[in-house]
Amino acid sequence: MYFYNKAYRLVTAVVLLAACDIHARGTGVDNPVTQVVVSPDTLTLDPFQSFQFRAFGRTDAGDSVPVSVRWVASAGAISQAGMYSADTSAADAVVTATLSSSAVSGTSHVKKRRVVQLLINPKNTALKVGGSQQFSVYGRNNLGDSVSVPVT
């Protein structure tokens, strides 16, 4: 009986190992990247707001793999690490990640909330000769929200 149990366990272990035949996938040589996915695919930002984009590759088999990409933005600024900063232009932006080793790329759309009004506080002031007054300013975007804006 002892020999039977030991042999049964050995056969069971061999069957389980054979059932778990795992092959490496997405190595880039046998299964090249056919798509670049940029995350998120759509984003809304205020002027001067920043966001860290991410990118990964997808193979024909559907596997997700890490990739090295070059970043470009149609408006605003983006670092080669994928950190995007929105500008104050009226144009929405397209952020593109292109594989460093080929022309395969993916995109994301950045919708920008636009500054439509600048408000200065105080509105009116009267000063004596030699007097001074501190002013503050903020912007209002197209949704009616207050946003900070750099001014000179």
Domains and CATH numbers, the chain: 32-112 (2.60.40.10), 115-147 (no CATH)
Write out the two tokens for 107. 């995109």
15 pLDDT higher than 60: no
Digit-coded pLDDT (tens) for 79-90: 999 999 999 888
Digit-coded pLDDT (tens) for 91-128: 899 999 999 999 999 999 999 888 888 999 999 999 99
Q: What are phi and psi of 12, to 5 degrees?
A: -60, -40
Q: How far apart are CA 131 and CA 121, in angstroms?
A: 17
14 pLDDT higher than 70: no
Write out the two tokens for 141. 């975007």
Mean residue pLDDT across the chain: 84
List, in order, residues 6 or more apart from 12 with CB less than 8 Å away.
Answer: none
CA count, 13 A, side-chain hemisphere, 137: 9
Three-state DSSP class for residue 133: coil
User: To which H or E segment does residue 18 belong?
Assistant: helix 2-19
Strands 115-121 and 136-141: antiparallel
Q: How far apart are CA 112 and CA 119, in angstroms?
A: 20
